[in-house]
Amino acid sequence: MPRAEADRLALHVHMALDAMRRGQGNATAAQMLCQTMILSGLLAEAGYGEATFEQMREAEAVICAAFDRGRESCVWALEESGFEQFAVIVGMYDAQLQRAPLAAIIEASNRLERFRAGESFEHRKRA
């Protein structure tokens, strides 16, 4: 992936993380962090970075709680420990964008889109 494109993607994620840290986030920022968490996990699964199932499960609980609070109170934020967890994920994602080949990033993105459409995360079989 060209450096400028990787930097642009990473900047948007860092801005979402900062907004959520300051309690100035919104549903879009929370969704971006959720998608980043999933993409980062998928890229780690493909060999680009390290993430444990437990880390991803804890991060999922953090972002779900942020969604619940945001919907209930209109305050979209991450608590300090949640911010720290997502700072690690966002840092790893930033590094993955620099290191992983474009094909791996595209495959992870396609898997995320299939999941969002209600399909399995699994790789699609080729004919």
Q: Please report the pLDDT score of residue 125 as a whole number.
A: 44
Asked if residue 54 has pLDDT above 80, the reply is: yes
Residue type, 57: R
Provide the strand spans (E) within 1-127: none
Q: What is the per-residue pLDDT for 122?
A: 63
Return the structure tokens found at 42. 């998928």
pLDDT of the residue at 3 = 80
What is the rounded CA–CA span in Å between residue 86 and residue 59? 7
User: Does residue 29 register a pLDDT over 90?
Assistant: yes
Dist CA 31 CA 18 (whole Å): 14
Cα(80)–Cα(94) distance, rounded to whole angstroms?
A: 21
CB distance 89 to 37 below 8 Å: yes
More confident of the two residues 35 and 2: 35
Domain ranges of the chain: 3-113
pLDDT digit string, tens, across residues 68-119: 999 999 999 999 999 999 999 999 999 999 999 999 999 999 999 998 888 7
